[in-house]
Amino acid sequence: MENLRTNFQIALDGVDPNIIPKKKLRTGDEMPAIGLGTFGSDRFTADEISDAVLGAISVGYRHIDCASVYENEKEIGEAFEIAMKNGVKREDLWINSKVWNDMHGDGDVLLSVAQTLKDLKLEYLDLYLIHWPFPNYHAPGCSVDSRSENARPYIHEEFMKTWRQMERLVDMGLVKNIGTSNMTQAKMELLLRDARIKPAVNEMEQHPHFQQQEFFEFCLKNDIQPIGFCPIGSPTRPDRDKTEKDTVDIEDPVIVAAAKRLGVHPAVVCIKWAVQRGQVPIPFSVRRNEFLSNIKCVTENPLTDEEMEAISKIDKNCRLIKGQVFLWKDNQTWEDLWDLDGNIEQ
């Protein structure tokens, strides 16, 4: 895709961005119903991911999901600059980013967004998220059993101090919408109770084998739009996040059967399911044929009601991104991060 850097143009075989469905948020802003994820730093270089962003914009993507911890925002900013110099309007792009765990302190959120805006070469973000509800720092690429000596549990008063800074970003015009990521229903109930500006979005793991139906419905009921990461089961997720008990969505017989009927890769079925169900998937790929088929599939040949019903019954409660590195005391398991009994672990 090197030629796009020197000769960017809209691809003739791409998708008209105007036919991509949109989701209206509580603010009235409309977010494209599929985006491109950019977390691939364990397997791909920042330049490869930047090239993928440029290629994705060329074929019709207008929603790009970024984060400071992915260590590629500066390179992605170069892709945005090229696209916008060649006719793509800023107001037609929907760009997310996230504040990392080591920037939750007083004044740090503003510093974080300022760096992100500088790196992405933007004047504002459409959406800014708190990446994890814990201030527990871990270096990118750390091992799964890594633990921070300063790690601590979710403390609502601390989280709200961070959220107040997020609200100020909206007041300042630096960010149009704010939201959360990797939250639980118990934590979200407290945030909804205390927030001046309520979250417009919650980014959460969602794929056919991990549907989070109860929390998904809770978000929709409270006018919080779910964005689903790992929408096809994240086969390229870091090795440290893989366990022997993990299941593989794209090998599920129900997914495979729908793919066979449509003559597509099973990954495409997972993305169709996500959009038709109502979440916004953000599949990651650096391969043009993959990210092109991922966006095309939401505009054609929908799954049948029977297929949607069948997929609703294959949930295996298989969380792939478990967050072990955020544990804060001995003899804990990753389940302690997710408030499975409705109580926030202390």
> How many other C-beta atoms are found inside a 10 Å radius of the C-beta of residue 86?
15
Cβ-proximal residues to 120 (8 Å cutoff; 6+ apart), any chain: 66, 73, 76, 77, 80, 95, 97
Burial group, residue 139, by CB count within 10 angstroms (0-12, 13-18, 19+): exposed
**Side chain identity, residue 40:** G
- The whole-angstrom separation of Cα 82 and Cα 92 is 15
Q: What is the DSSP letter of 329?
A: S
Q: Which one is catalytic: 61, 70, 128, 154?
A: 70
128 given a catalytic annotation:
no
Decide if 281 contacts 272 (C-beta within 8 A).
no
Element (H, E) at 150: none
Whole-angstrom distance, CA of residue 88 vs CA of residue 216: 33
Calculate the CA 299 to chain-centre distance.
21
Residue 188 CB neighbours (<10 A): 22
Instruction: Indicate the pairing of strand 201-205 with strand 63-65.
Output: unpaired
Residue 209 annotated as binding site: no
Question: Which residues does the annotation place in the binding site for substrate?
Answer: 131
- Please list the active-site residues: 70
Question: Which residues does the annotation place in the binding site?
Answer: 131
